Amino acid sequence: MHDPVLLARIIGGAGFVAALDQSGGSTPTALTNYGISAHDYSGEEEMFALIHQMRSRLITAPSFDGRKILGAILFEKTMEGEVDGTPVPDLLRQRGIVPFVKIDKGLEDENDGVRLMKPIRGLETLLGRAKAKGVFGTKMRSLINEASSGAIGAIVDQQFDIANRILDKGLMPIVEPEVNLKSKSRAECDAILLGALTKALDKQPIGRRVMLKLSMPAAPDLFAPLVGHPSCARVLALSGGYSQEEACDELAKNHALVASFSRALLQDLRAGMDDEDFDRVLAEAIERIYRASTVKTANNPA
């Protein structure tokens, strides 16, 4: 069973979910954007040590707390790590932030316009460790590049098959079938995905809710009907390569979605900043994303 206090916060709380789950493939880019080049480290061990330092600085900054941040998605190594002797999930909960962990192991090669998830070997063991560490839920990502009803249906089926295994362990799954924003058939992909997700949610037994993390649709508010579905706990929006300004502008058009941004949250933070400047820039980003998640236009209130 889910912690009822954390579940209520995730379902009805104001704020957004910070995505701090860059994996081995995306970590070099994240470090480069932070001002640490590939010449500054040697090998994966040093690379992951540096990204842990960045994440530690982020989650201990005064502005990074539960007043405007609902949750944070962690990379597996970060979930296992500590900050000044405190396990990262414990530290997040102390700051009022609900911890999640990324569990997918990357994507298969493209087939029929989509990229399914690779097999998640050791899933049960990973879920057991996450539960023991007080993690509330998980996140797993697939990718949709072209409009194919059968292939998009296969992505949703795979996501929900694993989501139900996660629910069996008492964790909340975040299902992320990302639509590539550069897809030439993006609007059609969105429409097919909406239908497939609706069918999958309809099949869920009463009380077995999932969260969704979706690309912001070409047609604003297309995904709004999913928010009220009894099998959907919350619908998050990913930034998908948008800049912070662009992502917030797009999010403000989608009145039922709240942010779960990574690059758009971190884009202006640099390793060379002193702590005061670091927290000031972070606080400005948090405020901007929070407002886009919670404060909508007068013509279309949230």
pLDDT of residue 226: 97
pLDDT of residue 299: 37
Total residues found in the chain within this entry: 302
Find the Cα–Cα–Cα–Cα dihedral 20, 21, 24, 25, rounded to 10°: -90
Catalytic residue among 68, 102, 146, 176: 176
Q: What string of pLDDT tens digits covers the 302 residues of the chain?
A: 688 889 999 999 999 999 998 776 788 888 999 999 989 999 888 998 999 999 999 999 999 999 999 999 999 999 999 999 999 999 999 999 999 999 999 999 999 999 999 999 999 999 999 999 999 999 999 999 999 999 999 999 999 999 999 999 999 999 999 999 999 999 999 999 999 999 999 999 999 999 999 999 999 999 999 999 999 999 999 999 899 999 999 999 998 899 999 999 999 999 999 999 999 999 999 999 999 999 654 333 44
Tell me the H-state helices in 35-87.
43-60, 76-80
Any idea where the domains of the chain sit in the sequence?
Answer: 4-293
What phi and psi, each to the nearest 5 degrees, are found at residue 76?
-55, -45
The contacts of residue 231 (CB under 8 Å, 6+ apart) are: 201, 202, 204, 208, 209, 210
pLDDT of residue 273: 97
pLDDT of residue 26: 80
Q: What is the DSSP string of 267-293?
A: TT--TTS-HHHHHHHHHHHHHHHHHHH
Catalytic residue among 68, 178, 213, 250: 213
pLDDT of residue 291: 96
Is 105 annotated in the active site? Answer: no
pLDDT of residue 146: 97
Is 46 annotated in the active site? Answer: no
pLDDT of residue 256: 86
pLDDT of residue 58: 96
CB environment 51-62: b (16+ within 10 A), e (fewer): bbebbbbbbbbe
The residue type found at 22 is Q
Tell me the CATH architecture of domain 4-293.
Alpha-Beta Barrel (3.20)
The contacts of residue 282 (CB under 8 Å, 6+ apart) are: 58, 61, 63, 64, 269
